[in-house]
Structure 1
Amino acid sequence: MLLAFLDESYDKGEYWIAAVVCPSAEILGLAARLDAVVMKATGTWGTSERAELHGNDLVQGKHDWAPIARQVRARIGVYRDALRATADTRGLLVMLQGVDRQALEARYEVPWHPHRVVLERLLERLNDEAVRQGLPILVIADEVDGHDGHRKSLWEYQHIGTGGIDGRMLTNVADTIHFAPSCDSRLLQAADLVSYMHYRMRRTQVSDERAKKANEMLWSLIEPNVCSVHIWKP
């Protein structure tokens, strides 16, 4: 079985969801390696062993990472080690799906929420990958508003089909979408790190050359695992 862990990043212009797709046999190992990254930080700098690997918090030195807010290299090192642990996982893939929010609002009088739009298209791509590998895929997502609506939509996609001219039945997506708080899931945290760094590279204006180089270094670690990047412009 494959497991897909989803996290979103967005601004007024674009809405993206990243999926970290991992073979079930590799889940425990990846979670242990991410735990080890946090435990290393705990032993070195005294951060909490429950600290969440959260992209924005690591970059900004906030919340769980406030104790090392002044230690930029340390925070970059934690981000690097976590992305490396993720990227080195056997068979791990990354998919990124987005929508142009302004084009969506301009085309439709009452558009769907961009999360639903992006999720539908991402589920199609996840299903395609599962079909290609001949495996079922289970989807676990960071908690968002409208859980029940997304679950009902998935049931329709599985039994009736997705919308649009390229609509299809999601034959290999197993069960329903499972929503969980990212603070309790290292794998959702991995998705967050990927989602945030993609967003930062694509949408954030960074003037400091050292920060630019750090971002490029971090993204280069996970980029070889990226098998799909699409943005829909209605």
Structure 2
Amino acid sequence: MLLAYIDETYKRGNEFWVSALVCPADSIPAITDALDSVVESAVAKFPEVGEDAELHGYELDAGSGHWEPLKQKPRARVGVYRDAVETIASFDDFAWFRGGLIESKVAWGDSNDPHEWSLKFLLELINNYATSNDQHVLCICDEVQNRDIYREKLQHYRKQGTGGNNPSKLPRIADTLHFAPSCHSRMVQAVDMVTYVLNRNRHPAENERTRAFYADLWDVLKGLRHRGASRHWPY
């Protein structure tokens, strides 16, 4: 069984992406332990950070939330972010998939949901990957609004197909979409971290050092990107 951990990122009115880290279920304990060690190392160096600190891209970038005690220590936050991303990238059985909608290039009405479209593209990619590996995949998502709507959409795809250029009834997607709070899952935190790197790659910061840092992290994630795939609309 494969597990797909899913998170969203967007720049409102411009682009919307839903991203997934996929790996075999039996790899989860080792990955979780490794990310626990990243946080434990950070707490040992900076005791002002709580032992319950979560790994979140925006919080580490901004020095907010669990990482607010390091707000005035950007080098420390950069170090933790790098450690986490390098840890994630070190697992060869991870694959990274991205489904997106370029909202700025479509005539988009208020009744349309960019998360729904991005998620559909992502599920098609994940289904293809599971098929090629002769596996089924269970999808675990970070908590978002409209959870029941996305579960209903998955059931619709199973009956009617996803439509478009790559129609599929997603036979390799197991069960329903499961939503989990990030505080209870290092894996949900892991996909948050790489999804934020995706956002920063698509929308580089004005600060030169920040741009260079996220460009470097994007390069660190090259192996995960190549083992996965990306699809967005319009092409």
Normalising TM by the smaller chain, what interval? over 0.9
Q: CA deviation at 1:111?
A: 4.9
Report the CA distance shift for 1:74/1:117 in structure 2 as closer, same or farther (over 3 A): same
Instruction: Map 1:100-115 onto structure 2 (within 5 A).
Output: 100-104=102-106, 106=107, 111-115=111-115
| Residue aligning to 1:140 | 140
Q: Which runs of 5+ in 2 are unaligned?
A: none
Count of residue correspondences: 231
Q: CA deviation at 1:109?
A: 5.2
Amino acid at match of 2:94: L
Cα distance in 2 between the residues matched to 1:92 and 1:25? 12
Q: Tell me the alpha carbon deviations over residues 21-61 of structure 1, each in whole angstroms, 9 at most, x when there is no partner.
A: 11111111101111111111111101112111110110111
Asked whether 1:60 is paired with 2:52, we answer: no
| Residue aligning to 2:43 | 42
Amino acid at match of 1:225: L
Instruction: Map 1:132-211 onto structure 2 (within 5 A).
Output: 132-207=132-207, 209-211=208-210
**1:18–1:191 CA contact under 8 A, matched in 2:** yes
TM-score between the two structures when normalised by the length of structure 1? 0.93
**1:158–1:173 CA contact under 8 A, matched in 2:** no
| Residue aligning to 2:97 | 95
Percent of aligned pairs with the same residue? 37
TM-score between the two structures when normalised by the length of structure 2? 0.93
Cα distance in 2 between the residues matched to 1:223 and 1:50? 30
| Residue aligning to 2:125 | 125
Q: CA RMSD in A?
A: 1.5
Out of 147-156 and 108-117, give the one that drifted further: 108-117
**1:13–1:100 CA contact under 8 A, matched in 2:** yes
Q: Tell me the alpha carbon deviations over residues 94-122 of structure 1, each in whole angstroms, 9 at most, x when there is no partner.
A: 01111011333x1x656520000111111
Out of 126-135 and 198-207, give the one that drifted further: 198-207
Cα distance in 2 between the residues matched to 1:221 and 1:48? 27
Cα distance in 1 between the residues matched to 2:124 and 2:45? 43
Out of 125-134 and 175-184, give the one that drifted further: 175-184
Report the CA distance shift for 1:143/1:72 in structure 2 as closer, same or farther (over 3 A): same
| Residue aligning to 1:8 | 8
